[in-house]
Amino acid sequence: MKLTKEQKKEILDQQTQKNVTKRVTSTELEKILYEAMPVLDHGFVRVVDYMGDDTSIVQSARVSYGKGTKKVSTDSGLIKYLMRHRHSTPFEMCEIKYHIKLPIFIARQWIRHRTANVNEYSARYSIMDKEFYVPSKENLAAQSTNNRQGRGDLINGTQADSILKILKEDAERNYQHYEEMLNEKYDGTIIDNKKKGLARELARMNLTLNSYTQWYWKTDLLNLLNFLALRADSHAQFEIREYANVMMNTVKKWVPISYDAFVDYRVGGMELSAKGKIIIQKMIKGEKCDIESSGLSKREWNELMNSFGFKQHLA
């Protein structure tokens, strides 16, 4: 992970400032506030601001009673109840803002979550960083044979070496052409005083999707948890999952009670359909069950069997 001199100075200035506030603060999150936590080869995640904590959720849930925070144990029970029964608005009372550096192809996947405020680095005004994401060998995999949007077996040996070489050379070559079209190097040096540089808004279209971009991403806790439920899942793409895992840790520090409830009911839990519920009830009673009489599809049946550890999995 590489930070510019300006970013390092900004982080140092932010971490050394002293502010007095009457707002609630999260002691553990304060310890990592502004810190750049590395992700992938050149990316990072930084928490740059937040509002509220677990008590804010409890306070908003109890507003109709006109009562504030009770004991921690009571707060925990209420937050678990809210999470278990999918009450949403109390979790919207907390907000968090991240500064994130990520490959463009991951940013395009990420932006599908349309429930955040986003401001991205502009290549119309500034020259893009000369940094590209290149996966490690252990993350090079062939297309999955049974999942159109997933990875299958690992690619090894000379084929892996060839792929990595192509990725590096294409990114380097395209960036070189980017600088030539701009008539300007990454460090601001003019290449040829007699030439005009192409407008940055045009030159940027030649960059590869593994180039890094940056943005500020602000969202409330409810939508952050929805994002993490999808992107920290084992089925998510590895690269975005790496970012989600770092963000999971920030949530744990920020709202530990909500985090525990989220892990218990959302991450570690499962949704059970009405038909699936009937199947499980029959199995508990020792009654015979099969896919033909269940009304479930093959995928639904396998997911149900896997979730409860039953051996009746269909190939």
Residues 185, 206: Cα–Cα separation, whole Å: 15
Say if residue 20 is in the same domain as residue 114.
Answer: yes
- pLDDT at residue number 7: 85
**315: in domain:** no
266 is annotated as an active-site residue:
no
Say if residue 38 is in the same domain as residue 146.
Answer: no
Say if residue 21 is in the same domain as residue 111.
Answer: yes
Say if residue 99 is in the same domain as residue 167.
Answer: no
Distance of CA 300 to the CA centre of its chain: 27
Number of structural domains found in the chain: 3
Say if residue 161 is in the same domain as residue 250.
Answer: no
**236: in domain:** yes
Please work out, in degrees rounded to the nearest 5, the angle formed at the alpha carbon of residue 214 by the alpha carbons of 210 and 219: 120
pTM of the full predicted structure? 0.89
- Distances from the Cα of 31 to the Cα of 182, 218, 222, angstroms: 42, 20, 23
Say if residue 36 is in the same domain as residue 63.
Answer: yes
Output DSSP code: residue 137.
Answer: G
Bridge-based pairing state of the strands 212-220 and 151-154 = unpaired
Residues 167, 189: Cα–Cα separation, whole Å: 26
**147: in domain:** yes
Say if residue 68 is in the same domain as residue 100.
Answer: yes
**249: in domain:** yes
- Model pLDDT for residues 23-66, shown as the tens digit of each residue: 999 999 999 999 999 999 999 999 999 999 999 999 998 875 55
Q: Which residues of the chain are modeled with pLDDT < 50?
A: none
Say if residue 175 is in the same domain as residue 34.
Answer: no
* Domain, as residue range, for 30: 5-128+210-267
**302: in domain:** yes
**313: in domain:** no
**28: in domain:** yes
Say if residue 156 is in the same domain as residue 50.
Answer: no
Say if residue 181 is in the same domain as residue 214.
Answer: no
**314: in domain:** no
- pLDDT at residue number 303: 86
Say if residue 184 is in the same domain as residue 258.
Answer: no
Q: What is the CATH number of the domain that holds 23?
A: 3.30.1360.170
Which among 124, 148, 231, 241 is annotated as catalytic? 231
